[in-house]
Amino acid sequence: MDMEAMVEQRQAPIAGNPMREIRIAKVTVNMGVGQTGEELKKAETIMQRLTNMKPLLTVCKVKNPTWEIRPGLTIGCKVTLRDERAIEFLKRALQARENKLAAKNFDLHGNFGFGIKEYIDLPGTKYDPKLGIRGFDVLIALERPGYRVKRRKLAKKRIPRHHAVSKAEAVEFVSTRFGVEVK
């Protein structure tokens, strides 16, 4: 038996093994504004209406004089969704993308992300002329049961390669679970 066959056999999910099931760890919705003030307040309002949660302000870490930003300046906001809220928001966001994603949206660790150019593309969202048009990013982290091992405080361990979510597994999960066409 050659090496590739051994790796495939080891990575093949055993029927009914709950430790091999892939799940959504979190969905992060990010809106970068690039400046403080009124525009940031509008972005916060949009984010709160989309997710029904209070957004967290993101702070600049680097200095860029051409964009007039410096460390410590709040330039965006984000919301992290988990469990049922994450799944419901992800379904709406994928509908805004017409259930189509590119293969380049997926990384090698099974995570993926995409952007939505206008927040009014999300189903059930109405346009507010006071807020204007603004886009946002949706980032999804996938994991298997047992990933807590790399985040816990005591006896941290790394996740073995055969237990990590690969790009192919992530594509298959999204296409079967949400009916997304990946090109």
User: Does 85 reside within a domain?
Assistant: yes
The pLDDT value given to residue 69: 75
User: Does 4 reside within a domain?
Assistant: no
Q: Which residue has the higher pLDDT, 14 or 159?
A: 159
CATH number where 78 lies? 3.30.1440.10
As a whole-number percent, the residues of the chain with pLDDT over 70 amount to 92
- Residue 121 belongs to what domain range? 21-182
- Determine the Cα–Cα distance for residues 43 and 136; give it in Å rounded to an integer: 9
**Coil, helix or strand for 36?**
coil
User: Does 8 reside within a domain?
Assistant: no
Residue 13: pLDDT over 80: no
User: Does 3 reside within a domain?
Assistant: no
- Determine the Cα–Cα distance for residues 11 and 165; give it in Å rounded to an integer: 10
User: Does 14 reside within a domain?
Assistant: no
- Global pTM? 0.82
Residue 68: pLDDT over 80: no
User: Does 10 reside within a domain?
Assistant: no
Least confident window among 74-78, 80-84, 112-116: 74-78
Give the number of domains in the chain. Answer: 1
Q: Each residue of 150-178: pLDDT tens digit?
A: 989 999 999 888 899 999 999 999 999 99
The pLDDT value given to residue 73: 82
Average pLDDT over residues 2-24: 69
Q: What is the mean pLDDT of the chain?
A: 87
For residues 142 and 110, is the Cβ–Cβ distance under 8 A?
yes
Concatenated DSSP letters of 76-99: EEEEEE-HHHHHHHHHHHHHHTTT
User: Does 41 reside within a domain?
Assistant: yes
